[in-house]
Structure 1
Amino acid sequence: MTKPVKNLGLLGIEYRDQQRPAVIDLWDPDNPRIIDYPVFHAACDAVAKGAIEAGLRPGDRIGILCSNRVEFLEIFFGCMRAGVVPVSIGILQPKEIVEWIIRDAGVKLVFCESSLREKLPDIAVVDIDSTAKDGLAAFKREGEFTPFVPVGDAIAFQPYTSGSTGRPKGVLLSHRAHTWVAETISRDRDFSPTDTMIVAAPLYHKHAMNSIKCVLVGGSTVVLMRKFEPRAYIEAVTRYHTTVVSGVPTIFAMMLQQRDMLTGRDYSFVRLATMGGAPATDALIDAVADLFHQAEIVQIFGITEASAALFGRHPKGEARPRHSIGWPIAGNEFRLEGGEDENFGTLHVRSPGLMNGYHNNPAEMEKRVKDGWFDTGDILRRDPAGWFYFVGRGDDMFVSSGNNIYPSEVELMLERHPDIDQALVVPAPDEIKYRVPYAFIVKRAGAELTEQDVKDYSLRNAPPYQHPRKVIFLPAMPMNGVGKIDRKLLTARAAAPAEATEREAN
C-alpha cells in the first residue's frame, strides 16, 4: 500500500505559534512588512481554504504571475496545502510564452499582480492587488484547515525550465521528493531560528525558492526583495544583519562594485555566503571572503529536475577545496559519462529529489531519463579525493577546429586578469574552424585595457585554441530574468554577420 508523505506546503509548520518574523517583505522598500510565523501560516491556510471553496481539487493547476512579495509565498505554500499544484510563471516572459505555459499546464486559475494582467489569456483571475471581490483578500477564507495528505509521488508544484533550448518544459516535482530536498539542504547549511537570509532572486526560479524552503525548515527569517538592486541589497544586509547571503556570482560582483557603501562596515554577522548558477573566479571569491570575513563561502550546484540536494559538506568535516561544488550528499548516485575516464564527463544522477517527469513531454523524458538515471547535460569533473567541480553546460560547449571549448574555463582564466571585472565567452561562426571564441569583457573601473592585451594574456595563460579571436568591451553585462548574464543574447550578437566576417588570424 502506498504510504502517506508530508505535504510540502507545511514546511515550518512546527514554528506556527512562535512570535518571530518569518518574512520581512521589502516589495515596497519604504514600507517594509514584517510577517510573523503565526500570521504567515494562517494566511497559507486561508489561501488553501479559499482554493477548496473556489472549486479547486487536488491535482488541479493554478498559475502564479507575481513578483517577489509575501503573497507569492502564501499562494505557493497555501495551494499545496490543499493539494492544488502551483505553476510559477516568469514575470519577464513574453505574453506568448505565458499563454503557452497556461495552456500546456492546464491552469484553471491565475493569481496575478494587477500590472501583469495584460499578459494573460481569457482565464479566471485572482488579482493580488485588488481590494474588490476579484482580489486575494476576498479569495481567502479564515479558519482552521485540514491539509491534503499526499501519498506516493503526488505532485506538489510544477515549475517550467527557462526555455533556453526551445519551449519551456514543465517539471513535475513531488511532495515526497522536495520535502526531502528542503530538509536535506537546510540541514547541510545549518539553518536555524537564529538565521536571517536575504533573497533577491525571483521566486519563480529554483534558486530563490530553495532558499525559502531552507528558511522555513530552519524556522529562520527571510528578507525578501522585490528584485536585485546592488545598493538596496547592501542596505538590507546591513539593516537586518542577514546571516546568510546568496546569489549568482554576478550579484556578488555588482554588490562589490559599490565600494563607497561597503568601506568601513563590519559584516562579521554573515556566517554563510552561497554562490550558484555559474563558476566564480578566484578574485571574486577572495573579495567576498574579505568582505564577509567570518562567513563560509560555498559554491552550490542545482538542477530543476534533480534539485540542489546533490552536493554539500564532507561527512567528516574536511575542508571543501576552492571552486568545488561539494561532496556527494548521501542518498544520491552519480555517473560521469562521455569523458576520457570516469572522473570527467556529463553528470547522470539518481536521486530521492529527482522529478517525476516532464509534463506532456514523453519524448524529452525518454531522451533524458533511462533506467532511473537523469542526464543533467552538465559537464563535471571529480578530483582524486572525491570532490566534484562544475566545468560547464554541455549545451555551451563548442568545437573549434576539433578542440572542445568549455566557455566557463576560458572565462575563469580571463577574469584572473587584474583589469577584468567580468568575462563571457561564446562561439562565433568561422569558415575554416567552424566556431571560434569571442569574448565580451567588462573592465575594472579606470582600467586601460585593449583588445590585444586580452588576446596576449589569453595566449600566455591558456591553450592557443581557447584565445578569443575578437574582444568586445561592454559597460555592463546584460542580465536575464533570473539574474544571470544573458548568454543567449550575446551569442546572437557574436553570430551577427557584421562581426562573424571579422575572423582574425591566430
Structure 2
Amino acid sequence: MPGAAPLSNLVNLGDLVQRDADLKAIALIDCHDDANPRDYTHGDLDAAANAVARGLIARGGKRGDRIAILAANRAAYLMAYLGTMRAGMVSVPVNFKLPRDTVEYVMRDAGVSMVFADAERLSLCPADLPVVNFDCSGNDGFDAFLDPGPFDVVRPAPDEIAMFLYTSGSTGRPKGVPLTHAGQLWAMVARARNGRGWEQQRFMVAAPLFHMNGLASAKFALAAHASFVLMPQFRAVPFIRALARHRCTFITSVPTMMALMAQETEALAQHDLSSVTRVSMGSAPSLRP
C-alpha cells in the first residue's frame, strides 16, 4: 500500500492505524442517524480508542478483563471494541438478538466485568454489571467515560486473547470462541496479499458487528487505511441508497442481504451503483441445494 506501513507491522488488534499515512483521511461514515451521517477520520478513531483504553484503566480495569458490547452498529461500538483491546483487555461482542437469559449466560460464561450498551439494549444487561450507555449524556454515558489523551498500546503476549465471539447457540447454549491478536492479524495480512489498492476502496458494512462477517470487514478497512460506511442494520432500500450516496466500491454481505437487495428493482433503477466493483459474500451458502 503506497504511503502506508505493511499490515505485518501491526501487533495489537485494537491498534490498526497506519500512522505514516494521512490521519485526516476519512475512515468511517457512520449512518446510525440515516438522515445525518457522520464522518470520522483515521485520526479521530485513533484518539477515541485511546480515550476508551484510558477510561477503562481509570475505572480500575486490568489486563485480561472481559468487556462486553451490546449494541447496534455505530461508531462508538468500534471505539469501545478497539479501545478495550488496546488496553490489553478482552472484547466480547454480544448478540443482542438472543433472549435475555441467553445474553446473561454469555456474559457470565465469558466472565464479563463491564458492559458498553445502547439505550435500546439496557434491559438485556445483568443488573449487577456496570454499564456505560452509548446514548446517555450523563455520568453513566459514553462521553463521560472517555478519558482523552495519549496511550501506550499494550503489546500482547504470544497467543494472548483479543476477543471472544459466541456462536448462535443453534445446537444448545452459545459457545465462546477465543480469538487471539496474532491469529486475527495474520488473517488480515493474508487478505491484504490477495489484492492491491485497498486504500482506495470504500467498503459497505451492514452486517452486525457481533458477527465475524461485519467485524472483520470493518477491521480490515481500518488496517488497510481504506474507508467504510457503517449501517446500524441491514434494510434493503436504505442500503441501496447509502451505496449510491457514499460511492461505495466494495460490498461485504451475507447471501440473504444480496437476495433481498435484488428484489428492490425500483430502488436499484433509481440509484447509481456504478461505483461498486466488488461484492463479497460469506457466512452462509450462496445457493440453495
Into which bin does the TM-score normalised by the smaller protein fall? over 0.9
Shift of 1:94: 0.9
**Matched residue, 1:145:** 151
Letter in 2 for 1:193: E
Shift of 1:14: 2.5
The answer on whether the counterparts of 2:54 and 2:151 sit within 8 Å (CA) in structure 1 is yes
**Matched residue, 1:365:** none
Shift of 1:18: 2.1
TM-score by length of structure 1 reads: 0.54
**Matched residue, 1:456:** none
**Matched residue, 1:322:** none
Matched residues in 1 for 2:55 and 2:175: separation? 29
The answer on whether the counterparts of 2:240 and 2:271 sit within 8 Å (CA) in structure 1 is no
SS of 1:156's equivalent in the other structure is strand
Shift of 1:190: 3.7
SS of 2:166's equivalent in the other structure is coil
Structure holding more strand per residue? 1
Shift of 1:187: 3.1
Shift of 1:93: 1.1
Matched residues in 2 for 1:17 and 1:84: separation? 28
SS of 1:9's equivalent in the other structure is coil
SS of 2:48's equivalent in the other structure is helix
**Matched residue, 2:41:** 36
Change (3 A) 1:16 1:135: farther
The answer to whether 1:205 aligns with 2:194 is: no
**Matched residue, 1:162:** 168
Letter in 1 for 2:182: R
The answer on whether the counterparts of 1:15 and 1:37 sit within 8 Å (CA) in structure 2 is no
Sequence identity of aligned pairs in percent? Answer: 39
The answer to whether 1:240 aligns with 2:250 is: no
Shift of 1:225: 0.4
Change (3 A) 1:8 1:259: same
The answer on whether the counterparts of 1:16 and 1:37 sit within 8 Å (CA) in structure 2 is no
Report how many aligned residue pairs link the two structures. Answer: 280
Matched residues in 2 for 1:264 and 1:15: separation? 40
The answer on whether the counterparts of 1:5 and 1:152 sit within 8 Å (CA) in structure 2 is no
**Matched residue, 1:342:** none
**Matched residue, 2:185:** 179
**Matched residue, 2:103:** 98
Change (3 A) 1:15 1:107: farther
Change (3 A) 1:39 1:102: same
The answer to whether 1:6 aligns with 2:11 is: yes
Shift of 1:269: 2.1
How do residues 14-413 of structure 1 correspond to structure 2 at under 5 angstroms? 14=19, 17-121=22-126, 122-190=128-196, 192-263=198-269, 266-281=272-287, 411-412=288-289
TM-score by length of structure 2 reads: 0.92
Change (3 A) 1:63 1:15: farther
Q: Residues 139-175 of structure 1, C-alpha deviation per residue, up to 9 Å, x if partnerless?
A: 1111110111111101111111111111111111111
Matched residues in 2 for 1:280 and 1:156: separation? 30
Change (3 A) 1:190 1:5: closer
The answer on whether the counterparts of 1:59 and 1:85 sit within 8 Å (CA) in structure 2 is yes
The answer on whether the counterparts of 2:241 and 2:271 sit within 8 Å (CA) in structure 1 is no
Change (3 A) 1:255 1:266: same
Matched residues in 2 for 1:129 and 1:10: separation? 25
**Matched residue, 2:4:** none
Letter in 1 for 2:154: F
The answer on whether the counterparts of 1:5 and 1:151 sit within 8 Å (CA) in structure 2 is no
Structure 1, unpaired ranges of 5+: 282-410, 413-506
**Matched residue, 1:454:** none
Shift of 1:15: 5.9
The answer on whether the counterparts of 1:23 and 1:221 sit within 8 Å (CA) in structure 2 is yes
Matched residues in 2 for 1:47 and 1:12: separation? 16
**Matched residue, 1:360:** none
Shift of 1:67: 0.5
Letter in 1 for 2:151: F
Shift of 1:264: 6.5
Shift of 1:17: 4.8
The answer on whether the counterparts of 2:17 and 2:222 sit within 8 Å (CA) in structure 1 is yes
Letter in 2 for 1:238: A
The answer on whether the counterparts of 2:50 and 2:148 sit within 8 Å (CA) in structure 1 is yes
Letter in 1 for 2:76: E
SS of 1:77's equivalent in the other structure is helix
Letter in 2 for 1:80: M
Structure 2, unpaired ranges of 5+: 1-8
Q: Residues 422-458 of structure 1, C-alpha deviation per residue, up to 9 Å, x if partnerless?
A: xxxxxxxxxxxxxxxxxxxxxxxxxxxxxxxxxxxxx
Q: Residues 250-301 of structure 1, C-alpha deviation per residue, up to 9 Å, x if partnerless?
A: 11111111111222655332221111122324xxxxxxxxxxxxxxxxxxxx
Letter in 2 for 1:174: T
Change (3 A) 1:266 1:123: closer
Matched residues in 2 for 1:42 and 1:81: separation? 12
Shift of 1:13: 3.8
Computing the radius of gyration from Cα coordinates, the structure with the larger value is 1
Letter in 2 for 1:92: K
Matched residues in 1 for 2:86 and 2:129: separation? 23
